[in-house]
Amino acid sequence: MIHKTSPEVGGMGHPIKRKEDLRFIQGKGNYVDDVHLPGMVYGQLVRSPYAHARLKSINTEQAKKLPGVLAVITGEDLAKANLAWMPTLSYDKQMVLATGKVLFQSQEVAFVVAEDRYTAADAAELVAVEYEELPVLVDPKKALDPDSPVLREDREQKNNHIFHWEVGDRNATEQVFQNAAVKASVQAFFQRCHPAPLETCGCVVDFNRATGKLTVYMTSQAPHAHRTVFALVGGIPEQNIRVISPDIGGGFGNKVPVYPGYVCAIVASLTLGVPVKWIETRSENLQSTGFARDYHMTAEIAADRDGKMQALRVKTLADHGAFNAAAQPTKFPAGLFSICTGSYDYPTAFCEVDGVYTNKAPGGIAYRCSFRVTEAAYLIERVVDVLALELKMDPAELRRKNFIPASKFPYKSSLGWTYDSGNYEAAMKLALDKIGYAQLRKEQQERRKKGELMGIGISSFTEIVGAGPAHTFDILGIKMFDSCEIRVHPTGKAIARMGTKSQGQGHETTYAQIVAQELGIPAADVSVEEGDTDTAPYGLGTYASRSTPTSGAATAVAARKIRDKAKKIAAYLLECSENDLEWEPGKFFVKGAPSKAKTIQEIAFAAYTNIPPGLEAGLEAVDYYDPPNLTFPFGTYVCVVDIDKGTGEVKVRRFVAVDDCGNIINPMIVEGQIHGGLTEGLGIAFMQQIDYDESGNVQGGSFQDYLLPTAVETPHWETDKTCTPSPHHPFGAKGVGESPNVGSPAAFVNAVVDALSHLGVKHIDMPIAPWKVWNILKEKGITS
């Protein structure tokens, strides 16, 4: 049980308004493109129009002659400084600027620096690149064909296969399948999509020749990790590098990797000795920075006739594009994909994944996702519905029958994960009751009789968030803990700094609430600062819903360290033994004599003015928290759709989302996170795909083709919650930010398939655009 503080203190559970919104809603945010430094110049990338071509020559003469142009950097120039290639997060390497050949459309070929942005753009047009086109591979299955051209000539391995990875018991699973009474399978493609944050990626790099200090203002979700990478790759002493991530307009994983633009801007500033700004355009962002998903998956379930699931088998082809730059910090090449057994108690399972190179942009970032959990959750929730169809069983009933029972937690899955806590049935019951499931099924029968198309989709997903623990997670060897440092000032106000970095999640508010909860200092009196590597303690950043499980935990532990010291000071001030003191948020008092008390503010003042003998002055603490396990939030989403038979248009009539992220810091912020993630899930399910034509041209490189849901398409989200605290987290919380993006695509797709299942439809790949549904209806003779 969490002690509820007063609204004035605003600890955990209070829906206090976001502190940061004061500046955001007034247009006073400070984003990277708002940074203007004296003498600043601008960089522009020259990009390849071809998806696969040999670079015959690059002529920069005309560009250099344009007045205002200061430099044109090519891959050959970078090669001289050993910087033409850089390491990726997945232990591959990636070209910074192309040398030899280009491997995807929009690949970075040269970097032009000029006095203003327009001149840089004009000069980029004048860089004359001669290409010799090569055969293009966009289909990962074809890329594995032995006759296919080898894309990565730099590798010793002369094919396009990156890795094979498997987990689970292949033979035991095979045996269960041989003897299974019922089998169900689905082939599901989780399309390539893109987080498309409101703010694109960019940086301002300021190398000061006099001090040797390199300051990089950048759109970074992981400023410390980027600082270390710049030090290791660029050979710059780490103490001379300061990475500052100011306000960030959405990241969703897109701002985790190091992109060539950052490196080029650093090289340019080091070379020219002036600040260099590089900001992507929208098309550059969509076409060249980290994509997400692109998983071609097959799942099969073996079950008995009563619907008891006995085994799961999963086979996947992962399209990584030209370089394996997947943002995944585990020792497993497919990240956390082996969470694909989901919420179900499978005695046996086997999962294998093969990674492949194609002529597409690199990435494989975890778009609001814990390193492939979204793909896994979608797959399992899809195939469970296919099994329900096979068995002619209600999908809710089938789920209920197979859920990991609440009594079995902590639960060790057949693919190796130990789930911390869960109560799946309670979440599903609440969601079904809230939406009126039984009544809706009756309505569906009635409507079917009238020839109308209505569907109900359920997704009972399980998540896996909060990377570390350090023994399983690292970024280029750096262990995945996270941190918090708290300093209490003499007047009882405080500043807290973390190794994470908000991109809009409201950290300035929620971390202050954790301090308020633990110390009783009002959240309004606690300022939170992230994103400056010169001041914040080292951390691995924010993505994959890890802030609450890691830095959130570190904040509570650091506050408790402060409380321990405060107790010593209180005992001194009250002239009693520490053992005689009791704590309630905000003060220590003498047991049995509540009026004999010292508030945290009085104690803070004494820490600087009336220090007990033998104790250091000051009141501050730091904690680097290595979580003992991940946290496993979960939920049930139920979606109701109506389909227009004439146009194939799907209308989401209702959507109920029940989430369980354990104890909640700020219910209003959590609700906002759910709304945002569901809206992204809607976009993925119905509108979005970064597709390629046969020549490797990007078909989704602008918002004309890559559609974002607006208020017009977005339904009213109905949210609710259950609360199953994490047993190992200091205040029982689990992450939540990515849950709605992870859990919702299956609910949408299951609803559409459910609406069409009586016509024999078992699966439709996302994005479910009206034309796809219309074609099915035409094929089934429902529309003409």
* Active site amino acids: 221, 368-369, 738
> How many angstroms separate the CA atoms of 349 and 334, rounded?
16
d(CA 747, CA 631): 22
CB of 667 to ligand CDP, least distance (A): 7
Distance CA 662, CA 408 (A): 17
Q: Which is nearer to ligand CDP, 253 or 333 (CB)?
A: 253
For residue 222, the minimal CB distance to ligand CDP (Å) is 11
In terms of Cβ atoms closer than 10 Å to its own Cβ (0-12, 13-18, 19+), residue 380 is: buried
Contact 753, 762 (CB under 8 A): yes
Nearer to ligand CDP, 497 or 507 (CB): 507
Bridging pattern class, strands 276-279 and 291-303:
unpaired
C-alpha to C-alpha distance for 465 and 629, rounded to whole angstroms: 9
What's the closest the beta carbon of residue 463 comes to ligand CDP, in angstroms? 10
Instruction: List the one residue out of 709, 692, 708 whose CA is nearest residue 700.
Output: 692
Least Å distance between CB 723 and ligand CDP?
9
- Round to whole Å and give the CA distance between 643 and 752: 8
Count Cβ atoms within 10 A of the Cβ of residue 619 and give its class: 0-12 exposed, 13-18 middle, 19 or more buried. buried
Q: Which is nearer to ligand CDP, 16 or 205 (CB)?
A: 16
Do residues 116 and 337 touch, judged by C-beta distance below 8 A? no
Q: Work out how close the CB of 673 gets to ligand CDP at its nearest, in angstroms, rounded to a whole number.
A: 5
Q: Please name every residue paired with 218 in a beta bridge, in sequence order, or none if there are none.
A: 203
State both tokens at 65: 């002659």
Least gap, CB of 674 to ligand CDP (angstroms): 10
Q: Which residues, 6+ apart, have CB-to-CB distance to 87 below 8 Å?
A: 93, 94, 229, 233, 476
Identify the burial level of 422 via C-beta atoms within 10 angstroms of its C-beta, where 0-12 means exposed, 13-18 middle and 19 or more buried: buried
What span, in angstroms and rounded, lies between the C-alpha atoms of 337 and 316?
Answer: 10
Q: Report the C-alpha gap between 541 and 520 in whole angstroms.
A: 27
Binding site for ligand CDP (CB under 6 A): 505-507, 510, 542, 545-548, 661-662, 664-666, 669-670, 673, 733-737
- Least distance from ligand CDP to the Cβ atom of residue 39, Å: 36
The helix (H) or strand (E) run that includes residue 289 is none
Nearer to ligand CDP, 542 or 722 (CB): 542
CA–CA dist 510, 434 (Å, integer): 29
Of 60 and 510, the one with the shorter C-beta distance to ligand CDP is: 510
CB nearer ligand CDP, residue 176 or residue 553: 553
Q: Which is nearer to ligand CDP, 598 or 734 (CB)?
A: 734
Closest distance between ligand CDP and the C-beta of residue 662, in Å? Answer: 6
Q: How far apart are CA 746 and CA 754, in angstroms?
A: 12
Q: Which is nearer to ligand CDP, 234 or 725 (CB)?
A: 725
